[in-house]
Amino acid sequence: MSAYVIVEITDKDEAAKATYAKAAMSVVESFGGIFVARGPVSVLHGAGTFERGLVIEFADREAALTWYNSPEYQALIEGRDIAFDSRFVLIG
């Protein structure tokens, strides 16, 4: 069963954003992740504080966790935290 990583972000640093985005896209794809949606966030119900979001599809929960916990992705987290305020949620 597919699993989805829902990412909500608000930009903080444009230069760091560009560096992170390029590297993160490559790492996600190398672990079989597919970007299925990205763009502005519209909150339909409840509180929301993030400006943009994206959805990444993985083959299953284990694949998503393998990507997130991989040394390749973990090495990008410091740059991610400079680039954005964010929340990552795994569904599936």
pLDDT tens-place values along the chain, 92 residues long: 999 999 999 999 999 999 999 999 999 999 999 999 999 999 999 988 899 999 999 999 999 999 999 999 999 999 999 999 999 999 99
Distance CA 31, CA 14 (A): 26
- H-helix or E-strand spanning residue 78: helix 77-83
What is the architecture of the domain spanning 3-52+75-91?
2-Layer Sandwich (3.30)
Distance CA 49, CA 41 (A): 9
pTM of the model: 0.92
Residue 76, C-beta contacts closer than 8 angstroms, at least 6 positions apart:
20, 23, 24, 27
In this prediction, residue 47 carries a pLDDT of 86
Q: Domain segments of the chain: what residues?
A: 3-52+75-91
Q: Where does residue 44 rank: exposed (0-12), middle (13-18), buried (19+ CB within 10 A)?
A: exposed
φ, ψ for residue 24, nearest 5 deg: -65, -40
Contact 83, 16 (CB under 8 A): yes
